[in-house]
Amino acid sequence: MTGAPTIEVHGLRKAFRRKASRPGVLGALRGWLPGDVDVVPAVREVSLRVGRGELVGVLGPNGAGKSTTVKMLTGILWPDGGEARVLGLVPWRSRRELARRIGVVFGQRTQLWWDLPLRDSLDLLRHVYGVAAARFAGNLAAYGEQLGLGEFLHVPVRQLSLGQRMRGELVAALLHDPEVLFLDEPTIGLDVVAKGRIRDVLRGLVADRGVTVLLTTHDMADVASLCDRIVLIDHGQVVHDGPLAGVRARFGRECTLVVDLAEEAPEPLGALVVPGAREVRARGRRRWLEFDRSMTSASDLVAAVASRYPLADLAIEEPGIEEVIGRMYAAGSGAARG
Amino acid sequence: MSGQVRDAGGRVAGPVPYRSLPRLYARLAGATVRSQLQYRWSFALYALGVFGANGFEFLALLVLLGQVPSLGGWSAPEVALLWGMSTMSFAVAEAFGGGFEKLHMVVRAGAFDQVLARPLPVFFQVMTSQVEAHRAGRLAQGLVAVAFAVSGGSLPAWGADEVARLLGAVLSGAVIFFATFVIGGAWAFVTVDASEVVNAFTYGGATLACSPLDLLAVPVRRAATWVFPLAFVNYVPALAILHRPDAAGILPLSIDPSGPLATLLVPAVALAYLGVASLAWRAGLRRYQGAGS
Ligand SMILES: Nc1ncnc2c1ncn2[C@@H]1O[C@H](COP(=O)(O)OP(=O)(O)OP(=O)(O)O)[C@@H](O)[C@H]1O
Ligand SMILES: [Mg+2]
């Protein structure tokens, strides 16, 4: 990573003003008066730096401010305060110039012409972005093949399935060779095969072309298979920023040892004193022992159990990515409120 | 604004240049029309409906004028001329301003973010988002009405001068109605519930402009001159074409309605109103983007 970062954000803030909706007739009438507004702080303080060719996953619970952040970084919304530069441009001041160099996909919306065949939409976008014919043909052939658009290029967009349309959206965002991709829930509603294809394309863009990708998702498999780095936003603040391995180290320490005892034993297992370990479940001879890896190793725990109770079988369960992120969310909301 | 710069990878940098906008307009407008044609029956029925509704309105007017030889001192051909001018202006305005009229739906559906994600001016994109080809029917009706007025032979003169005045008036009127659509579109950013109020001004204005303005009560007349410049759509230019005096005193300082000052005043008012509309548009857009309000 040399030179200035591709995305640089410092202290970004945005609050939405909403007409207060109050119950009852009187409440509705009050809504007509000026000044009766609720202020929703959507983004309180977001700072981050992303270098060229990084693939960053922005995670966070519903309403955390992820989409609002993406909208500010793409120049769609003006912030209330803070600074940002994308490719050296202030997004909301150089919206049109930046738009030509970035690709944006909102999984919940469409940038395609609803009633026209997909192919027509792509063709129109070629002119909107001023892409040369040869470059357009090359990109359409390459990405179209990777994402399997061939079979439905001539179908009106409104007749496409969600997954087909999303593949079309991604190709539409790639035709002008963007240097940065902002993807807000790009794999929403896709089947396993389609998700795999989109992930392959994204990995290829990063590896072969040095494209920088910032994506928000609720799909933990996306995170596990794509993101080198995770930014967790909660209540409009960055509460964690680091490599996925670090997240596991921080929030995935609690593992579970599952043992099948060779003989009947009391519930819970008496006289088992290992720091950081406790029995969380029991069903006959099968016992679940949760332990904190930073305080005890699996082998020490197995040895401690086996020294008193003969074992028939054992297994160690690591927390899945879903669970790790779930714990991170739970910890994050505590931190943000505190 | 920088020109076209290519980086090492052959990518084009800088915003899309303004000079490519006319061709883009044709393409995007064409796409809108093709989209409408996907629903052939609905398109045909809608065009028929629009044509019928306007035609019946005109017929009703003719029936009325057939019974009363004049409407407050305006003969039937003269009223037909007023109707034709306003109708043509409105048809042209709506052909270009339909996107502003429908903008509240786009904002409500949350689809406006996509507009801002594209490297084109927002105003331009909204203009191309709704192109109503069937407005051509309305334009034709306006022409028929004007032809009726002219062929009646009761207009004082009909030469190149009058034709030029008529064209200028129709264009100025179109700008005035277009600006009204733009102001209505700006409201969509403030509240998505204002569309009926906006309609009252656009369609209501077009209907009001069909009757001679001097028949209206004085406060309405004043408002229709200086607040919402309907008088300049057809009444003021028609005075010149018909060689009528400004009996109602719509023009200030007793300006001669057939003189050069009045001739210049019509497009000047239209452009000034368009200027007001563009300020309103910018304020609305800033509000949508949350850039201080
Ligand atoms: N246009 C708007 N007007 C008012 N409030 C808004 C608007 N857009 C978002 N909000 C509010 O701002 C907050 C952040 O919303 P945002 O869409 O950024 O969340 P998110 O992290 O993308 O959530 P999700 O995971 O559900 O997509 C929410 O409380 C939301 O209700
Ligand atoms: Mg979101």
Does residue A167 have a pLDDT over 50?
yes
Q: Integer distance in angstroms from the first to the last C-alpha of chain A?
A: 35
CB contact under 8 A, A116 and B9: no
Q: Cα separation of A301 and A282, whole Å?
A: 17
Residue A211, number of CB atoms within 10 A of its CB: 23
Which residue has the least CA distance to atom 27 on ligand 1?
A62
Does residue B8 have a pLDDT over 50?
no
Q: Output the CA angle A231-A75-B2, nearest 5 degrees.
A: 125
Q: What token pair was written down for A58?
A: 């922005």
B23 neighbourhood in chain A, CB within 8 Å: 127
Closest partner residue to A109 (CB to CB) among B11, B111, B290 is B111
pLDDT given at position B197: 74
- B272 falls within a domain: yes
| Locus of tokens 């000034």 | B272
Overall average pLDDT of the A85-101 stretch: 95
Confidence label for A78 from pLDDT (cuts 50, 70 and 90): very high
Q: Cα separation of A174 and B89, whole Å?
A: 42
Which residue has the least CA distance to atom 4 on ligand 1?
A16
- B34 falls within a domain: no
- Virtual torsion, Cα B108, B110, B116, B119, nearest 10 deg: -120
Determine the 3-state secondary structure of B228 from DSSP.
coil
DSSP B117-175: TSSS-HHHHHHHS---TTHHHHHHHHHHHHHHHHHTS-SS--SHHHHHHHHHHHHHHHH
Confidence label for A29 from pLDDT (cuts 50, 70 and 90): low
Closest partner residue to A111 (CB to CB) among B9, B114, B292 is B114
Residue range A32-43, pLDDT digits in tens: 666 667 888 999
3-state helix, strand, coil in chain B (%, to 5): 70, 5, 25
- B203 falls within a domain: yes
- A65 Cα: distance to centroid of ligand 1 (angstroms): 6
Protein residues with CB under 6 Å of any ligand 1 atom: A 16, 18, 40, 42, 60, 62-68
Nearest to B99 by CA among B201, B188, B203, B218: B188
- Whether cis (ω within 30° of 0) applies to the bond prior to A268 is yes
The pTM of this model reads 0.84
B71: left (phi over 0), alpha (psi -120 to 50) or beta: beta
Does residue A270 have a pLDDT over 70?
no
Confidence label for A67 from pLDDT (cuts 50, 70 and 90): very high
**Domain A7-244, architecture per CATH:** 3-Layer(aba) Sandwich (3.40)
Nearest to B9 by CA among A22, A8, A132: A132
Structurally, chain B folds into a number of domains equal to: 1
pLDDT given at position A266: 76
- A48 Cα: distance to centroid of ligand 1 (angstroms): 20
Whether residue A214 contacts residue A70, with contact meaning beta carbons closer than 8 Å, is answered with yes
Q: What token pair was written down for A313?
A: 């079988």
DSSP A210-235: --EEEEE-S-HHHHHHH-SEEEEEET
* Range 101-120 of B in CB contact (< 8 A) with A: 110-111, 113-114, 116-120
Q: Cα separation of A265 and A262, whole Å?
A: 9
Determine the 3-state secondary structure of A252 from DSSP.
coil
Q: Cα separation of B199 and B183, whole Å?
A: 11
In chain A, CATH 3.40.50.300 sits at 7-244
Does residue A247 have a pLDDT over 90?
no
Parent domain of B241: 39-286
Strands A229-234 and A212-216: unpaired
- Virtual torsion, Cα A239, A245, A246, A249, nearest 10 deg: 110
* Range 97-136 of A in CB contact (< 8 A) with B: 97, 99-101, 104, 106, 108-111, 113-116, 120, 124, 127-132, 135
Of the CATH numbers 3.30.70.1560, 3.40.50.12160, 3.30.565.10, 2.60.40.10, which one belongs to the domain with range A253-318? 3.30.70.1560
pLDDT given at position A124: 95
Which residue has the least CA distance to atom 29 on ligand 1?
A63
Which atom, in ligand 1's list, is nearest to the CA of A60?
A: 21
A97 neighbourhood in chain B, CB within 8 Å: 13-15, 119
Task: Give the phi and the psi of residue B260 in degrees, each rounded to 5.
Answer: -65, -30
Does residue A90 have a pLDDT over 90?
yes
Beta bridge partners of A233: A238
Beta bridge partners of A256: A290, A317
Whether residue A240 contacts residue A270, with contact meaning beta carbons closer than 8 Å, is answered with no
Q: Cα separation of A44 and A46, whole Å?
A: 7
Average pLDDT, chain B: 82
A322-326, B187-191, B283-287 — which is least confidently predicted? A322-326
Residue B153, number of CB atoms within 10 A of its CB: 8
Q: Integer distance in angstroms from the first to the last C-alpha of chain B?
A: 26
Nearest to A189 by CA among A275, A134, A252, A107: A107
Question: Which class for B116: exposed (0-12), middle (13-18), buried (19 or more C-beta within 10 A)?
Answer: buried
| Residue B69 touches chain A, beta carbons under 8 Å | no
Whether residue B280 contacts residue B186, with contact meaning beta carbons closer than 8 Å, is answered with yes
Residue range B102-112, pLDDT digits in tens: 898 888 888 89
Q: What token pair was written down for B234?
A: 């057809």
Segment of A95-99, A218-222, B138-142 carrying the highest mean pLDDT: A95-99
A110-124, A292-306, B209-223 — which is least confidently predicted? B209-223
- Comparing alpha-carbon positions, the chain A residue that sits nearest to B106 is A109
CB contact under 8 A, B15 and A129: no
Residue range A280-307, pLDDT digits in tens: 888 888 999 888 888 888 888 898 888 8
